[in-house]
Each structure stands twice: as structure tokens, then as C-alpha cells.
């Protein structure tokens, strides 16, 4: 299994990438450009150099090699490939079939995979070669990897690799690769590994011909090594999920302890400036970097200087368009963090021309997991990159009541940060209630907790204990009262 999976990882010597973008009927040219720009940033984050890009209008993603013949040849010029798909039969495997094959196991697999030996070419006529003149001599054969800006079925991936002669990655593949390079904690590593294996499994193919069948021993008798690999992967995923679940419990326990505190979750598109804001507001040393998915792990810290009541801020993984569902699911614990917050800070990079659609993506994913009703504050960040006029225009655009409140800031401006902090504090204070709490001397220990969680406005003593006039969040009050009853 490892040998085959080794092939899925990218060798470090690969440097030049050529991108492929498909424009489906509903997609505007602007959207296509935006998507390819984002893909360029993703690919650059992986350390590759984008040397060219190729786009084509298509009515569907379903074609055997995604691209039409002419474009496929042009692509192969970039990589020095043949531009032809080695196997005829491969063309007939649809996505649905590939899934069925994977689920059903051996028999169909063998039939489909045997076709690898078939040398028949993709299409007989070569009319498209005429387009080849588009590339300069320097460009020809200059790319060592092809990156497609949409998700590919296993057979499409195989066909493209066969035609180009190089490694092909789709958008999900790129994101998974970035995630796996950036994962630091055990939970993040486990989540990435599950996503990676889920992605890898259907893309495994038979390496050799029929001698690959396992002749002897154990329950694997008669299984092809492909099935064996797939089974091992399924088992491994199960194992990893169990391990992750045990960490998940720890998370939950810690969260339960925090539940009575005021939590603010920073959410937003990747690179919006969440971690920069986290640093500025809490004085923590979280990683800030001008690359996509710099943060994968959740960090929680109190506001610094400390506030009364205490407010915790959490920073987590960012969102991206077309984030694969497997990946979203594997980062569920991250999203849970947002679900348990009392206030969401939607951080956007207001200087990015596509910030509106980025905000939409963030909102829709959060709505999907049930965070729709959590009060939220819109933070329009990086205002230092905008002119006064642009700032005013954007502020006006968001002056309606889509968010509880909107604030435009730069994480580099101290006054802006103070303003944001004041808004956060006034949010919590506006949600607080005043109450008199009687604390008997026998329960003196609770007083420290009361002082940490809420404001004490006055105190009167009598022979049995002290009555505190407090102002606090309803949850904090309920929690303290449990200790007093």
C-alpha cells in the first residue's frame, strides 16, 4: 500500500506547473479568472511555479479527459506527453461506475484494469495538432505537473496522466497536500490523514497485470493487490477515526468547561487575517503567514490585557471555495468550535476584490453546520490597502442589518484594534443581567470564581455571608448559582 501511496505524494523536485481551468455554461469569465488566480495561490503555497494556464469552455466536466482533443494536445505540449490516452476502455468508466467498481470489489476491477494493456489511441484523427504552434520552444515540455481547477474522477485523472505523461492533481488534491504539509497537532494530522486516504483510495490502480493477484494465504486469497490495498485503507481510516474520536472527547470536555465563559470565534476565508487579529487581540504567538491555510489547528486564548468579564478568542482553519466535503467533515471539530461561540467575528480581507463571494462561502458553510443563529460581527480587515473612498463605499454597502455590527479595521492599527475590542466588550455587556447573589461564608471559594466571571458592583455583609450585586452573562450566572445551591 505504501508504495502506491508514495506515488500520490509529490516529489520535491517538481517545480513548474501548468493549470487547467474549465468554464462551464453557468460560469462567467470573471469567475473563471478569480478561481484560477486562487488556484495559482494554492499552487504557489505548495512551492510550485506556475508557467502557464489553459482554459476551455465545456458543457460538462464529464468528458474522459476533461478537455477536448485539441486542448489535450496543447496541454501535452507543455509537459512533453503524447496527448493521447493509452486505453480505450478507460474512456468508458464514468464517475458513477468508478464508485460502483470500488464498492463492488474485484471482478469488475479486473475487467476494467486489464484494458491498460490496450494500446489503442484516444482518437484516430489528429486535426487538433495544428494548435500546437501556440507554445514557444521554451514552453514546450517545461511543466512537470498538471493542476486542474475542478475535481476529477479517478478515470479522468488516469486519462490525463496518460496523455500528459506527468503527475496530475485536481483542486482537492492540492488542498489536501497543503493541509498535510501544514498540519501540526495530532488532531490536525489525523484529520488530514483521513481526508487523504479517502481521496487516495478510489484513485489507486493496479500496478501490474494479473500476476499481481495474491496467490496464497489468509483471507486475501484470490484478492488482487488492488482490493487488498483498498481494504487496508478502509481499515486504516476506521482506526484513525477511532483515534480521532478519543481526542474529540477531550475537546468536548475542555469545551464544556469553557461553556460558561464568553467565547468569540474568528471565522473567515483563508488569508483574511484571522491569526493576525488573534495575535493582536490576545498577544499569543500564533502563526501568521501570507499563504493559504497557514492555520489548521484551533487556538484559544483570553483577550489581552485581560478583560472583565473574561473573554476567550478562538482562531481556526480558514474556508475556501469548493472545499471538498470530506475535508469539511474531517475538520468538523474545528467548526464545532465556532458553533460553541457566543459571538462570531466574520473576518474578511476587504482589499481582495472577491471578498464578497468569500464571505458568502464562509456564511453558507457555517449555516450548514448550524451556526446561523449565533450573533455575528463583520470585521472588514486590511483597510490600510484601501483608499478613503473605497473604505466609505464598502462601509456603506454593509451598513444594513446583515450583521449585528460592522467594523472596518487594519490589524496593524492600534486604534482600530481598540475599537474592535470595545465593540466585543459592549456586546457581552449588553447581554448581561444584574443580579444579587448571596454567598454563605461556607461557600467562600465561589467568590473568586464570581470575580473572574462577572463584574461585582457592590457587596453587603451579614453574619451568615455576603450578598454580591453582580453583572454577568446569563450562562455564567447559571453556572455560579449551581455551585451555590
Number of Cα atoms under 13 Å in the Cβ half of residue 20 = 29
Nearest approach in angstroms of CB 178 to ligand GTP is 9
Nearest approach in angstroms of CB 324 to ligand GTP is 16
Nearer to ligand GTP, 415 or 463 (CB): 415
Nearer to ligand GTP, 289 or 478 (CB): 289
How far from 82 is each of 51, 68, 86, 121, CA to CA, in Å?
A: 19, 15, 9, 10
354 touching ligand GTP, by CB under 6 A: no
Query: Exactly one of 325, 385, 464, 481 binds ligand GTP (CB under 6 A); which one?
Result: 385
Site map for Mg ion, 251-280, x if CB under 5 A?
A: -----------------------xx-----
Site for ligand GTP in 396-415 (CB under 6 A): 410-412
Query: Exactly one of 39, 54, 292, 380 binds ligand GTP (CB under 6 A); which one?
Result: 292
293 touching ligand GTP, by CB under 6 A: yes
Nearer to ligand GTP, 93 or 277 (CB): 277
State how far Cα 260 lies from the chain centre: 29
* C-alpha cell at position 438: 448571596
Beta bridge partners of 300: 314
In angstroms, the first-to-last Cα distance of the chain is: 59
Nearer to ligand GTP, 150 or 276 (CB): 276
Q: How many residues belong to the site for ligand GTP (CB under 6 A)?
A: 23
Nearest approach in angstroms of CB 447 to ligand GTP is 39
Query: Exactly one of 125, 211, 290, 373 binds ligand GTP (CB under 6 A); which one?
Result: 290
Angstrom distance (rounded) from CA 215 to CA 447:
73
265 touching ligand GTP, by CB under 6 A: no
381 touching Mg ion, by CB under 5 A: no
Which of these segments, 72-80, 199-207, 240-248, 291-299, binds ligand GTP (CB under 6 A)? 291-299
Angstrom distance (rounded) from CA 101 to CA 110:
10
288 touching ligand GTP, by CB under 6 A: yes
456: three-class secondary structure by DSSP? strand
334 touching ligand GTP, by CB under 6 A: no
Widest distance between CA atoms in the chain: 101
How far from 397 is each of 79, 180, 388, 392, CA to CA, in Å?
A: 46, 38, 14, 9
Alpha helices in 305-444 (DSSP H): 325-330, 332-339, 355-368, 388-397, 414-430
Nearer to Mg ion, 113 or 297 (CB): 297
41 touching ligand GTP, by CB under 6 A: no
313 touching ligand GTP, by CB under 6 A: no
In this structure, the dihedral spanned by the alpha carbons of residues 51, 56, 58 and 60, taken in order and rounded to 10 degrees, is 0
Q: Find the helix or strand (DSSP H, E) in which 467 lies.
A: strand 465-472
Site map for Mg ion, 282-321, x if CB under 5 A?
A: ------------xx--------------------------
What is the C-alpha radius of gyration for the chain, rounded to an integer number of angstroms? 28
Nearest approach in angstroms of CB 443 to ligand GTP is 43
In this structure, the dihedral spanned by the alpha carbons of residues 23, 25, 31 and 32, taken in order and rounded to 10 degrees, is 0
275 touching ligand GTP, by CB under 6 A: yes
Nearer to ligand GTP, 379 or 480 (CB): 379
Residue 21 contact among Mg ion, ligand GTP, none, beta carbon within 5 to 8 Å by kind: none
Q: Which of 347, 355, 402, 335 is nearest to 375 (CA)?
A: 402
Sheet holding 16-23, edge to edge: 49-57, 16-23, 145-148, 167-170
Q: Which of 308, 309, 312 is nearest to 300 (CA)?
A: 312
Site of interaction with ligand GTP (CB under 6 A): 268, 270-276, 288-290, 292-295, 318, 381-382, 384-385, 410-412
Footprint of Mg ion on this chain (CB under 5 A)? 274-275, 294-295
Amino acid at each position: 500500500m505504501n508504495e502506491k501511496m508514495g506515488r500520490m505524494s509529490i516529489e520535491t523536485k517538481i517545480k513548474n506547473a501548468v493549470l487547467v481551468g474549465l468554464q462551464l455554461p453557468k460560469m462567467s469569465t470573471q469567475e473563471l479568472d478569480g478561481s484560477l488566480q486562487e488556484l495559482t495561490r494554492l499552487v504557489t503555497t505548495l512551492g510550485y511555479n506556475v508557467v502557464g494556464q489553459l482554459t476551455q469552455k465545456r458543457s460538462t466536466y464529464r468528458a474522459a479527459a476533461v478537455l477536448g482533443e485539441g486542448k489535450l494536445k496543447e496541454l501535452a505540449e507543455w509537459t512533453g506527453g503524447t496527448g493521447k490516452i493509452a486505453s480505450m476502455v478507460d474512456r468508458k468508466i464514468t464517475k458513477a461506475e468508478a464508485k460502483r467498481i470500488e464498492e463492488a470489489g474485484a471482478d469488475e476491477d479486473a475487467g476494467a484494469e486489464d484494458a491498460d494493456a490496450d494500446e489503442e489511441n484516444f482518437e484516430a484523427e489528429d486535426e487538433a495538432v495544428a494548435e500546437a504552434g501556440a507554445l514557444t520552444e521554451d514552453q514546450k515540455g517545461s511543466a512537470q505537473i498538471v493542476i486542474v481547477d475542478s475535481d476529477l474522477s479517478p478515470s479522468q485523472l488516469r486519462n490525463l496522466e496518460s496523455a500528459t505523461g506527468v503527475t496530475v492533481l485536481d483542486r482537492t488534491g492540492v488542498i489536501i497536500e497543503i493541509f498535510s504539509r501544514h498540519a501540526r497537532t495530532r488532531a490536525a494530522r489525523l484529520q488530514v490523514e483521513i481526508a487523504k486516504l479517502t481521496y487516495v483510495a478510489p484513485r489507486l490502480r493496479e500496478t501490474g497485470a494479473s500476476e499481481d493477484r495474491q496467490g496464497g494465504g489468509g483471507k486475501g486469497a484470490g484478492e488482487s493487490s488492488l482490493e487488498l490495498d483498498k481494504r487496508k485503507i478502509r481499515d486504516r481510516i476506521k482506526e484513525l477515526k477511532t483515534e480521532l474520536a478519543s481526542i474529540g472527547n477531550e475537546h468536548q470536555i475542555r469545551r464544556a468547561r469553557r461553556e460558561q465563559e464568553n467565547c468569540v470565534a474568528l471565522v473567515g476565508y483563508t488569508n483574511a487575517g484571522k491569526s493576525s487579529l488573534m495575535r493582536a487581540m490576545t498577544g499569543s504567538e500564533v502563526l501568521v503567514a501570507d499563504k493559504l491555510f497557514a492555520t489548521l489547528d484551533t487556538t484559544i486564548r483570553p483577550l489581552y490585557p485581560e478583560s472583565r468579564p473574561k473573554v476567550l478568542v478562538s482562531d481556526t482553519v480558514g474556508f475556501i471555495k469548493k472545499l471538498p466535503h470530506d475535508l469539511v467533515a474531517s475538520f468538523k471539530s474545528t467548526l464545532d468550535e465556532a458553533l460553541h461561540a457566543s459571538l462570531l467575528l466574520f473576518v474578511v480581507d476587504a482589499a481582495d476584490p472577491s471578498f464578497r463571494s468569500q464571505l458568502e462561502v464562509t456564511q453558507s458553510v457555517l449555516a450548514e453546520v448550524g451556526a446561523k443563529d449565533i450573533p455575528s460581527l463583520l470585521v472588514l480587515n486590511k483597510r490600510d490597502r484601501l483608499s478613503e473612498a473605497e473604505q466609505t463605499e464598502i462601509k456603506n454597502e454593509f451598513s444594513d442589518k446583515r450583521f449585528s455590527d460592522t467594523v472596518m479595521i487594519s490589524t496593524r492599527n492600534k486604534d482600530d484594534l481598540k475599537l474592535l475590542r470595545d465593540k466585543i466588550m459592549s456586546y457581552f455587556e449588553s447581554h448581561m443581567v444584574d443580579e444579587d447573589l448571596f454567598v454563605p461564608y461556607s461557600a467562600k471559594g465561589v467568590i473568586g470564581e464570581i470575580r473572574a466571571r462577572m463584574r461585582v458592583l457592590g457587596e453587603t455583609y451579614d453574619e451568615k455571608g455576603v450578598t454580591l450585586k453582580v453583572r454577568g452573562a446569563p450562562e455564567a450566572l447559571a453556572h455560579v448559582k449551581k455551585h451555590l445551591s
